[in-house]
Amino acid sequence: MSTLESTKRYHVTTFGCQMNEHDSERMRGMLESLGYDEAPSADDADLILFNTCSIRESADSRFVAHLGHAKRMKKERPGVVVGVGGCWAQSVKDEVFERFPFVDVAFGPGQINRLAEFLTSDDLSAQGYFEFEGFPAHLPTKRDRPFQAWVQIAVGCNLKCSYCIVPSTRGREASRPFEQLLDEVERLAADGVREVTLLGQNVNAYGRDLRTTDPLPEALLPFHAAAKRPTGRIAGVDDEAAAARPRPRTFAELLMAVSAVPGIERVRYTSPHPKDIREDVVAVHATVPEVCQHIHLPLQSGNTRILKRMRRTYDKQRFLDRVEMIRAQCPDIALTTDIIVGFPGETEEEFQDTLDVVERVGFDGAFTFIFSPRRGTEAAEMTDDFVPHPVKVERMERLVEAVQRHAKARTQRFVGRTLDVLIEGPSRNDPDVLRGRTSHNKVVNFTGFGEPGETVPVEITAATSQTLTGEMSLLARLGA
Ligand code: SAH
Ligand code: SF4
Ligand code: F3S
């Protein structure tokens, strides 16, 4: 059977993080290049794909419920091909076929190109499982929004956070070559992209595994070790020798280079690791207008003993110091975070430390999770998980209350200000109202006019903990 001759239809259901969203765009791009069309729902598709996540147990169960539906469809229409990709597939590997015999193909992240091989092979009934191989950079993508794009700057993760399954599903960390990334951003900009989000598990580790003899941008020299060379060097001779010596790339220079691509108006990234967030990156936030006024800095816990057991490699004070360093240079920046409650052995006192950091920092928003043991991780083996579930739920409620209270207080600072809003489309509740986002990553519903992808000035009139309301400022727009 050749998929190239008939118009087959595919449907992809995506679970998990932006990495998976982006991988799904590449699956869709690749399938369309093979001649497939996108079906509006899995019920109408010949190829039903799931791009899975395994970060918490809830992610697994959500996906397994969807698989049940695919099984029923396959009974009704036996020719349907069911494929399972992503982190869950990578974590269970061949077991996928034992547990779900109706699955035809399974593949880990970074295996999308092998999916194409499978689909164009003669025997689609053979089950296939493909291991992680490398970076599928050359794949076309099919984006949801023409003016926004993800750019994956690194694969994998070299850290060993004891609760986390990602290092085992996405492999070792590897940065994509700097020039290749800039080419990609240039192509995206030429294609109408105005905002890029750089993706990686630990984005500020970008470039440590790369080497270049390109000079560092002038603005970053004060932060670079070479600039702090001891006195007594021979000017000219030593400087030239230092310049010729290959050096690692840095995340800060990548941010600057991406921001300088003509057409790119906004640059975001996720996620940095608190241990690696350095002055150079913060200086770029402070001085390069394209780099957004938002940093997502995952705290996980505010308690030093728990952080150690999580293998996060920073303690409570170090996190607070990093926040202070960021706010000293960028007082208005939005800070968001991820927090886990009920890590094995977490006492009430230790949880209080998390609340204390939340009170002291005053995040603009936070994703909060109850610890979920993941197969194969160190924390899943910790036997002192004595915190009863109702206690975890109760801690979560207190945490969410504190997070919301600060988020609400923080958004009030925007009321009365005129902010640049990148229009994303009509508002979810009212088609006559537009919806967009500020540089701080706050959603704004506003009255006015403009096309998706356009940036317009909006006067903010009200704010809740999550969203802002406003009116487009005609004067500012005409003046612009
Ligand atoms: N690499 C990114 C994000 C990883 S996953 C980073 O380090 O920031 C996103 C979030 O899921 C994590 O920040 C963490 O808060 C949460 N998470 C990961 N594993 C978890 C687990 N086993 N139980 C509960 N939450 C978890
Ligand atoms: Fe997981 Fe930690 Fe790596 Fe993030 S940094 S992906 S939490 S191991
Ligand atoms: Fe993302 Fe889930 Fe994998 S959060 S990296 S899709 S386990």
Whether 214 and 241 share a structural domain: yes
CA distances from 43 to 12, 13, 85, 204, 428 (A): 11, 12, 19, 42, 25
Cβ neighbour number for residue 21 with a 10 Å cutoff: 17
Tell whether 361 is covered by a domain.
Answer: yes
For residue 92, give the CATH number of its domain: 3.40.50.12160
Whether 213 and 198 share a structural domain: yes
Q: Of 102, 129, 156, which marks where a domain is finished?
A: 129
Per-residue pLDDT reduced to its tens digit, 186-219 = 999 999 999 999 999 999 999 999 999 999 999 9
For residue 237, give the CATH number of its domain: 3.30.750.210
State the pTM of this model.
0.92
Comparing 431 with 259, the larger pLDDT belongs to: 259
Per-residue pLDDT reduced to its tens digit, 320-362 = 999 999 999 999 999 999 999 999 999 999 999 999 999 999 9
Tell whether 154 is covered by a domain.
Answer: yes
Q: In angstroms, what is the span from residue 71 Cα to ligand 1's centroid?
A: 30
Q: In which element (H, E) is residue 251 found?
A: helix 251-259
Per-residue pLDDT reduced to its tens digit, 245-277 = 899 999 999 999 999 999 999 999 999 999 999
Tell whether 4 is covered by a domain.
Answer: no
Average pLDDT, the chain: 90
Question: CB–CB of 162/310 below 8 Å?
Answer: yes
- The residue contributing the CA closest to ligand 1 atom 19 is 164
Q: In angstroms, what is the span from residue 166 Cα to ligand 1's centroid?
A: 9
- The residue contributing the CA closest to ligand 3 atom 1 is 17
Ordered DSSP codes for 269-318: EE---GGG--HHHHHHHHH-TTB-SEEE---B-S-HHHHHHTT-S--HHH
d(CA 410, CA 393): 25
Is the pLDDT reported for residue 240 higher than 70?
Answer: no
> Is residue 55 lining ligand 1, measured as CB closer than 6 Å?
yes
Res. 1 pLDDT band, cuts 50 70 90: very low
Tell whether 363 is covered by a domain.
Answer: yes
**Predicted local confidence at residue 2, as pLDDT:** 44
Quick one: what percent of the chain has pLDDT higher than 70?
A: 90
d(CA 172, CA 160): 11
Whether 226 and 310 share a structural domain: no
Three-class secondary structure of residue 238 per DSSP: helix
* Number of domains composing the chain: 4
> Residue 44 has what DSSP assignment?
G
Strands 467-472 and 443-447: parallel
Best residue among 369, 371, 389 to mutate for probing ligand 1's pocket (most ligand atoms within 8 Å of CB) is 369
Whether 345 and 434 share a structural domain: no
Whether 403 and 385 share a structural domain: yes
Q: Which is the closest atom of ligand 3 to the Cα of 55? A: 7
Q: In angstroms, what is the span from residue 270 Cα to ligand 2's centroid?
A: 12
**Predicted local confidence at residue 242, as pLDDT:** 65
Per-residue pLDDT reduced to its tens digit, 91-123 = 888 788 888 999 988 888 877 877 888 887 766
Q: Of 413, 439, 465, which marks where a domain is finished?
A: 413
Res. 128 pLDDT band, cuts 50 70 90: low
Whether 315 and 333 share a structural domain: yes
Whether 122 and 184 share a structural domain: no
For residue 318, give the CATH number of its domain: 3.30.750.200
Which residue range forms the structural domain that includes residue 26?
A: 9-129
Name the phi and psi angles at 88, rounded to 5. -65, -45
Q: Which is the closest atom of ligand 1 to the Cα of 374? A: 22
**Predicted local confidence at residue 439, as pLDDT:** 98
Q: In angstroms, what is the span from residue 55 Cα to ligand 1's centroid?
A: 7
Tell whether 80 is covered by a domain.
Answer: yes
Q: Which is the closest atom of ligand 2 to the Cα of 167? A: 8
Whether 115 and 163 share a structural domain: no
Whether 25 and 114 share a structural domain: yes
User: What residues does 197 pair with on adjacent strands?
Assistant: 150, 268
Whether 19 and 114 share a structural domain: yes
**Predicted local confidence at residue 112, as pLDDT:** 80
> Is residue 343 lining ligand 1, measured as CB closer than 6 Å?
no
Tell whether 135 is covered by a domain.
Answer: no
**Predicted local confidence at residue 429, as pLDDT:** 87
Q: Of 107, 129, 151, which marks where a domain is finished?
A: 129
Tell whether 63 is covered by a domain.
Answer: yes
Tell whether 21 is covered by a domain.
Answer: yes
